[in-house]
Structures are given as C-alpha cells and as structure tokens.
Amino acid sequence: MNAQALIKKADKVLTKYGAPTRKVYKRVITRTGGDQLIGRPGSVSYSDTELNPQPTYQRGGRQSVTGNRVAAEYVVANGRALTPDMAVFLVSPTSMTQVELENPNLVLVMKDASGNTEVFQIDDVNPSTMNGVTVIYTVYARSVQR
C-alpha cells in the first residue's frame, strides 16, 4: 500500500466515523481597511469551508474531572457556563493542507444544526507520514469562543 492509498482508506474511515452531530469548518478571517496596529475597526469577513472528509475529534475533557471541586475556570456567556477546553482533531490532508494549518488567521469552527458555533484556535499540528507523504494530521486546538 502506498501513501495515497492509505490516505483514501483513512478518508473512508473518517467519513464513516466522523463528527456525527457537529460539522467542522475551516474559517479564514480576512480584515480590510481600518488600522490593524491598534485594532480599530475596518471590515472583517469570514470564509467558512466545510471539511471534506470531516475530521474526527476528541475533547480534552476538563469537565470530566471527578470530585467535588472546580475542574476548570468558568465564564458565563449568553446564559451558559463555558469552560476552556482542548480538542484533538484527526484531519485528512484531503481536507486541509499544511499551509492552511499554519495560517495564523485560520481557525476551526464547529457548527450544529441549530446554528450554534464553537471556534477553535490551532495550537499545534503533528503530521503522520508514510514514504514522505502526510497521511493524517493530528491537530491540537483550543476552544476560544463558543
């Protein structure tokens, strides 16, 4: 089996076992006009592209710490108690390139059918390779906005 065949096989597995309830998008943020140095407003546009195949993901699960103690720092937003959380995505090179994963103005976004979104900032990318070709990216991301 060569790397390309392995990528195809991985894509099939990702499609079969991918995120069932929420879809993952790559969002490129573009700013035009304004004064970026001081953060004064110009116009901001989001370009969301659905990942195909969808990645699988796993939460860091800080909320799952057991015991009668605070497991994570909470912040209340829009009537919900939110916790900072990490997630690990398995992303196919079919759906994202190394250049995209290294783009500082690209974030991952999860969307559900109700229109809820959660934004993840990519912290680290670990490519797994076969014969010099990346067959899967392990992407470590941090939830920064829900």
For residue 86, state whether it binds another protein (rule: CB under 8 A).
no
DSSP, collapsed to helix, strand or coil, labels residue 96 as coil
Among 1, 2, 16, 38, binds another protein (CB under 8 A): 38
> Which residues share a beta bridge with 68?
none
**How far apart, in Å, do the first and last CA atoms of the chain sit?**
41
Q: Which of 4, 98, 116, 121 binds another protein (CB under 8 A)?
A: 121
Q: Does 35 bind another protein (CB under 8 A)?
A: yes
Contact 119, 109 (CB under 8 A): yes
Is residue 34 involved in binding another protein (CB under 8 A)? yes
The verdict on 44 binding another protein (CB under 8 A) reads yes
Minimal distance, residue 1 CB to another protein, in Å? 37
SS3 for 5? helix
Read off the tokens for 80: 């919900």
φ, ψ (nearest 5 deg) of residue 95: -100, -25
**Binding interface with another protein (CB under 8 A):** 29, 31, 34-40, 44, 104-105, 107, 119, 121, 144-145
